[in-house]
């Protein structure tokens, strides 16, 4: 689960846990008393929270050079350092739950290696290795992680017409679970994961054994499915969810299978048949034979995209199975944190001075904070131009562009913060140089992507002290969008939470309610996208930004006036001044990029006009003409415009502004 939730978020989690615990007590159950149990109960009760599990163990051990004719579960006894290394890699990648190396540590599978008498010893050792890794991680990283006792399929048919009777299957699972749970939560496993179940008959016996041998541990049960997302015994995903729920599982789901596509379909079908939390842990695709080795080809980025889809489909618990590596889990962690940052959580809205904060001070009136603040307060039309920082240390071109725009009468320069997750000069540095060397006011774009709340506060206090008084609060593009896929995202809060932090600093208080001596005096702005497909969510988030303290909004580039007008009508009840984004297109390719990659609504008419341009110069002229038209058409609906300078074409921005 993501760490660093705000105080109100923790209060809601505590309330959810208390409710679940009381319900459990009323039913005479002792579950959810452990640390993970409380976390699990809260995650199940709250939307927008996800528990991230680890990935494959077997394929990782194979990659360490362990031959496939070895009993991988026995490595807990003979080579624990190898198992420990895999666990540590997953913890470092961001997994909150690691599974013990005990998938096949039952008497049925161990008998093939003559190890059936060591069931208890192997499982107890597996739990002990994982526990030691979790405790070391907690001490080193000051973050919680938990041990899941992994219980895999017996590998034979269970039931009257199978190779193993139901009673024998029950006995096999029970013996394994006793080893995993020995000592209780915090010593043995914190929870149990029954996974890759081939049939409901087998799953039933695993659940019976878990409820008998370790009733205090949360129990996740996952089936494996075929290409049609049906269980391998022919049961539908819906029937599986219903029966697993009835038999007493605490969460149900799907793992393994042929990859994330079929697992997603199964999860979507299970959602309609149960109210329990859902778990999704697919293979990294179907293995391919390459030079005699089984290779899983689904990339970390591909798996990360499905992690978000799982959560949107209702999954609370997400992880990976065969072929998934720490790199996959790291990418999934980044995707999930980005997704959570996009959700309006109470912790985001309430992020700011703590409830018991000391009284703050009143910030200066808006008109006295900055030029932009005075124009907004005076209901004057505002003009801005966006200048992107350079990729190197030389910003001569950017300063010259700012100077041209300043002489033209532009009120301020907007400076993005590593847009598209690219590595550039810091926005704060360029803002300072523009203000000091050119004399025009700037608006600092500030994102949540790269900093925790401590770093944010330090940056913002420092920005105020050196004369930066306008802030655009943004969540930020996920690192995977850029050229540095190994970069990690932080996302302690989203743009809404950031606005609350700035609002607190404006009242002279840090996020803990401690006085900082004076108001930072920021003019606070936020972003809006009138053309986003999920306009309901956009309106909901914009309302939360206004509630948090935003004083004006800046839209994404507008090419469809109808969508802008619709958005303005939707926010009428909580309307703040809106600055319309204007983008001078440079070519048809640029228009296609805006439409397909940035998801900006681009009318067919504009695409046709750009396509009709025959030369680069003609394309540029058409783009400027379209931008001028949008500026003129939107002028009566908004309180200003922000014109972009694509590819550093400051002359184009000046020509658009010149129409005023």
Positions at the binding site for Zn(2+): 256, 321-322
CA atoms within 13 A on the CB side of 437: 16
**Which strand ranges, in their side-by-side order, compose the sheet holding 146-151?**
51-52, 315-318, 278-282, 251-256, 219-223, 191-197, 146-151, 97-99
Judge whether 473 and 462 are in contact, CB under 8 Å.
no
Cite the annotated binding site by residue number.
Answer: 256, 321-322
> For the chain, how far is it from start to end, CA to CA, in angstroms?
51
CA distance 570 to 566: 6
Q: Which residue has the tokens 């071109």?
A: 397
Q: 260-271 and 300-312 are packed helices; what angle lies between their axes, rounded to 10 degrees?
A: 10
Eight-state DSSP code of residue 559: -
Asked whether 471 and 497 are in contact (CB, 8 A), the reply is no
Listed in sequence order, the DSSP H helices in 55-118 are: 58-63, 75-78, 80-93, 107-110
Query: What does the DSSP assignment read for 426-460?
Result: -HHHHHHHHHHHT--EEEEEEESTT--HHHHHHHH
Q: How many angstroms separate the CA atoms of 216 and 259, rounded?
A: 32
Closest CA to 506 of 495, 494, 515: 515
CA distance 64 to 41: 36
Q: In degrees rounded to 5, what are phi and psi of residue 357?
A: -65, 150
Helices (H), 313-426: 326-342, 346-350, 371-377, 396-408
Residue 36 has phi, psi (to 5 degrees) of: -65, -35
């Amino acid at each position: 689960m993501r760490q660093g939730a705000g105080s109100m978020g923790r209060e809601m989690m505590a309330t959810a846990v208390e409710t679940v615990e009381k319900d459990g007590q009323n039913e005479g159950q002792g579950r959810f008393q452990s640390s993970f149990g409380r976390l699990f109960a809260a995650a199940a009760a709250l939307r927008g929270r996800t528990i991230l599990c680890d990935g494959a163990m077997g394929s990782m051990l194979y990659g360490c050079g362990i031959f496939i004719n070895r009993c991988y579960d026995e490595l807990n006894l003979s080579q624990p350092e190898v198992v420990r290394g895999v666990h540590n890699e997953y913890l470092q990648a961001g997994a909150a739950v690691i599974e013990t190396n005990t998938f096949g540590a039952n008497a049925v599978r161990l008998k093939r290696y003559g190890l059936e008498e060591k069931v208890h010893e192997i499982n107890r050792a597996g739990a002990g290795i994982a526990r030691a890794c979790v405790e070391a991680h907690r001490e080193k990283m000051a973050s919680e992680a938990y041990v899941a006792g992994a219980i895999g399929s017996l590998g034979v048919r269970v039931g009257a017409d199978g190779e193993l009777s139901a009673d024998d299957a029950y006995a096999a699972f029970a013996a394994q679970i006793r080893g995993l749970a020995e000592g209780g939560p915090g010593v043995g496993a914190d929870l149990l994961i029954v996974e890759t179940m081939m049939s409901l008959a087998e799953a039933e016996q695993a659940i019976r054994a878990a409820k008998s041998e370790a009733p205090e541990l949360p129990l996740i049960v996952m089936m494996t499915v075929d290409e049609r997302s049906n269980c391998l015994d022919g049961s539908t995903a819906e029937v599986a969810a219903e029966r697993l729920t009835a038999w007493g599982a605490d969460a149900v789901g799907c793992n393994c299978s042929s990859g994330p596509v079929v697992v997603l379909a199964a999860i979507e079908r299970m959602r309609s048949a149960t109210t329990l939390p859902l778990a999704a842990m697919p293979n990294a695709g179907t293995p391919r034979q390459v030079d005699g080795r089984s290779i899983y080809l689904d990339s970390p980025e591909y798996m990360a995209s499905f992690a978000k889809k799982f959560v949107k489909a209702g999954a609370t618990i997400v992880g990976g199975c065969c072929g998934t590596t720490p790199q996959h889990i790291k990418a999934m962690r980044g995707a999930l944190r980005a997704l959570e940052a996009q959700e309006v959580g109470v912790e985001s809205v309430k992020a700011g001075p703590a409830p018991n904060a000391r009284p703050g001070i009143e910030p200066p009136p808006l008109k006295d904070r900055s030029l932009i603040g005075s124009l907004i307060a005076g209901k004057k039309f505002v003009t801005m131009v966006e200048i992107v920082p350079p990729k190197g240390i030389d910003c001569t071109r950017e300063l010259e562009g700012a100077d041209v725009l300043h002489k033209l009468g532009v009120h301020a320069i907007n400076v993005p913060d590593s847009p598209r997750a690219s590595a550039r000069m810091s926005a704060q540095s360029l803002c300072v140089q523009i203000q000091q060397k050119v004399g025009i006011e700037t608006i600092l774009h500030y994102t949540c992507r790269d900093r925790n709340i401590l770093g944010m506060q330090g940056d913002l206090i420092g920005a105020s002290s050196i004369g930066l008084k306008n802030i655009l609060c943004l969540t930020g593009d996920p690192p995977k969008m850029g050229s540095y896929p190994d970069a990690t995202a932080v996302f302690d809060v989203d743009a809404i939470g950031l606005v609350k932090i700035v609002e607190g600093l404006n009242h002279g208080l840090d996020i803990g309610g401690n006085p900082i001596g004076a108001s930072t005096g920021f003019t606070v702005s936020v972003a809006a996208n009138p053309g986003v497909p999920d306009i309901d969510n956009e309106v909901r988030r914009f309302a939360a930004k206004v509630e948090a303290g935003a004083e004006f909004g800046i839209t994404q580039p507008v090419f469809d006036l109808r969508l802008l007008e619709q958005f303005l009508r939707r926010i009428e009840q909580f309307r703040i001044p809106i600055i319309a984004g204007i983008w001078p297109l440079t070519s048809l390719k640029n228009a296609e990029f805006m439409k397909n990659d940035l998801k900006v609504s681009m009318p067919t008419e504009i695409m046709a006009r750009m396509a009709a341009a025959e030369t680069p110069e003609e394309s540029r002229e058409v783009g400027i003409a379209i931008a001028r038209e949008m500026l003129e058409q939107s002028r009566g609906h908004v309180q200003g415009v922000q014109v972009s300078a694509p590819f550093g074409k400051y002359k184009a921005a000046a020509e658009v502004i010149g129409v005023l």
